[in-house]
Structure 1
Amino acid sequence: MAATSDIVATYRGPGRVVRRILGQGEREDRALIYLMIGCLMVFVAQMPRLAREAHVMETDLPMMLGATLLAWLFIAPLIFYAIGLVSHLIARAFGRKQSAFGARLALFWALLASSPLMLLWGLTAGFIGPGIEMSGVGLLWMIVFIWFWVAGLIGAGRGAA
């Protein structure tokens, strides 16, 4: 199934989608591409907000974009790998039988699958600016991301059992 179809299916059943992806085999290249595309989507979502901030504060937009690109495409993936390892260790401590790959995949897929809401947040931040609307969309994204991540972890654990 295409990644876009899987993203839509994730909004109906995130655990099933993660189990289906895990059923295709443990391929680290696939997990890494999910992570990198998810981080790229977050970077793209930041662009309207950064353009607004650069205009309001009269600062250099290319410098802000370069720093954000460095953060999201080079530093954030390392942090996500560390978070994936910690989530695997915590799940194992609670008796969940899953692989470290399953825990990483659940996290990376949650980031990618929730990226449409992150893009909406970026547009809200760029066009409307700080306020209740931006906070509401950000809260919605965070809730959906955590839902996808936890349901994906549970699904990965069931697939390994």
Structure 2
Amino acid sequence: MALTTDIAATYRGPGAVMRRLLALGRREDRALAILMGACVVMFIAQWPRLARDAHLQDLNLQMEMGGALLGTIFILPLVFYGLAGLVHLGMKLFGGLGDAYGSRLALFWALLAASPLALLYGLVAGFVGQGAQLTIVGLVWFVAFMWFWISGLRVVHRGQAA
């Protein structure tokens, strides 16, 4: 399926999409591409907020964007790989049946699938700024991300992938 179709399908049933992704076979390049795509979208989502901050606080926008680029494209993927590894070890401690690849894929897919809400969060941060609206959108993004991630981990570690 197309990537956008899979993202939309994740909002209806994240477990089914995770099973379909796992059925495509173990491909680390696919997992890395999904993670990098999510990180690129998260970088783009920061642009409105960065532009607002640069304008209101008289900051250099290029410097702000450079820092955001370094953080989201180069450092954040390493953090997510580490987080996926720690969560995988925790799942194995509690009897999980899945492998490390499945744990990574569940996290990376949850990030990419929740990325439309990250874009909305960035728009609200850029156009509205701090306030209740930003908090609500951030909470919706976090809940969707956790729902996708936990659903993916359940598929991976309960042996439902086959």
Query: 2:106 aligned with 1:76, yes or no?
Result: no
- 1:11 partner SS: helix
Residue 118 of structure 1: aligned partner: 118
Amino acid at match of 1:44: I
Residue 54 of structure 1: aligned partner: 54
Displacement of 1:160 in angstroms is 4.8
Amino acid at match of 1:159: Q
Amino acid at match of 1:150: I
Q: Do 2:43 and 2:69's aligned partners in 1 also have CA atoms closer than 8 Å?
A: yes
Residue 133 of structure 1: aligned partner: 133
Displacement of 1:66 in angstroms is 0.4
Q: Do 2:34 and 2:108's aligned partners in 1 also have CA atoms closer than 8 Å?
A: yes
Q: Do 2:22 and 2:161's aligned partners in 1 also have CA atoms closer than 8 Å?
A: no
Q: Give aligned pairs, total.
A: 161
Displacement of 1:137 in angstroms is 0.2
Query: 2:19 aligned with 1:23, yes or no?
Result: no
User: TM-score, normalized by length of structure 1?
Assistant: 0.98
Q: Taking every aligned residue pair, what percent have the same amino acid on both sides? A: 54
- Distance (Å, rounded) in 1 between the aligned partners of 2:42 and 2:161: 30
Pairs within 5 Å for 1:93-112: 93-112=93-112
- Distance (Å, rounded) in 2 between the aligned partners of 1:27 and 1:159: 19
Residue 160 of structure 2: aligned partner: 159
Q: Structure 2: give runs of 5+ residues left out of the alignment.
A: none
Amino acid at match of 1:35: L
Displacement of 1:159 in angstroms is 3.2
Displacement of 1:96 in angstroms is 1.1
Q: Structure 1: give runs of 5+ residues left out of the alignment.
A: none
Structure 1 pair 5–160 and aligned structure 2 pair: CA distance change class (3 A): closer
- 2:130 partner SS: coil
User: TM-score, normalized by length of structure 2?
Assistant: 0.97
Residue 67 of structure 2: aligned partner: 67
Deviations 1:118-160 (A, max 9, x none): 0000000000111000111001100110110000100122335
- Distance (Å, rounded) in 2 between the aligned partners of 1:26 and 1:123: 35
Displacement of 1:94 in angstroms is 1.1
- Distance (Å, rounded) in 1 between the aligned partners of 2:9 and 2:95: 28
Displacement of 1:8 in angstroms is 0.4
- Distance (Å, rounded) in 2 between the aligned partners of 1:159 and 1:66: 42
Residue 35 of structure 2: aligned partner: 35
- Distance (Å, rounded) in 2 between the aligned partners of 1:34 and 1:159: 22
What RMSD, in angstroms, separates the aligned Cα atoms of the two structures? 0.9
